A = this chain, B = another copy of it.
């Protein structure tokens, strides 16, 4: 049965969105719709134009009969800035202030719509880098890692402070917790979960002293893997010297006053790096 252009455009859009960063061949689409490659090429030109105009992303097209298309979920800079501003507005509420000056974020990290936005923003930033895996530490980092990994279409791995029998054998390291107490803690990663030589992106919710990110860095070294970058949702206020300097943060907690119950969150150094 011959498929009309309108139906092809809808199905091509769905297929590409579910397979980001993947080269899909003209041959594949041509068979799927029993249509000539020349027709598919025309379809892809329309999809490409619309994806850019609507801020959906970039469609890289590889020309020729052996060619195809690859969807890169890159956002427009203005859309990224818009989302970061939305995040600030959402966090700038006194009810989010917790005892000890912490900021409550868990509800947002359980909302698919926020996670889609956060995932797209961070994945856009790293779209040109070769990344093999996203790494985070349990528990609050997991939704962020999953969201970013979904848009980059790579696996994500979860570092744990306590590992379970269901993880198989693990590699563990000790690290100095960044908090003032300078405690030595342990983190571990299932041996099967990361291939040697992988290029790894670290993501997490908050950055305070940087101890956790530093621990993950050591683990990456243990696996003979390579660190590509580290991005967190928010960097917290920290009086001491951070044990890492090479990171980006979408947001920065500028001030927290527990007495007057006020909190001020502003865009982080991520925006300047765009």
Contact = CB atoms under 8 A, between A and B. Distances in A.
A267 interface: no
A166 B102 contact: yes
Contact of A165 (B53, B100, B139, B165): B100
B9 A149 contact: no
B190 A106 contact: yes
Interface in A173-195: 190, 192-193
Contacts of A107: 155, 192-193
Interface string A140-155: 1011001101100111
B98 A168 contact: yes
A156 interface: yes
Nearest to A47: B10
Contact of A10 (B9, B100, B153): B9
Interface stretch (A12-20, A79-87, A237-245, A246-254): A12-20
A149 B147 CA distance: 12
Nearest to A167: B106
Interface string A117-149: 000000000000000000000111011001101
Contact of A110 (B10, B49, B111, B156): B156
A114 B143 CA distance: 15
A10 B12 CA distance: 9
A160 interface: yes
Contact of A106 (B103, B113, B166): B166
Nearest to A113: B153
Interface of A: 5-7, 9-11, 13-14, 17-18, 46-47, 49-51, 53-54, 56, 98-100, 102-107, 110-113, 115-116, 138-140, 142-143, 146-147, 149-150, 153-158, 160, 164-168, 190, 192-193, 206
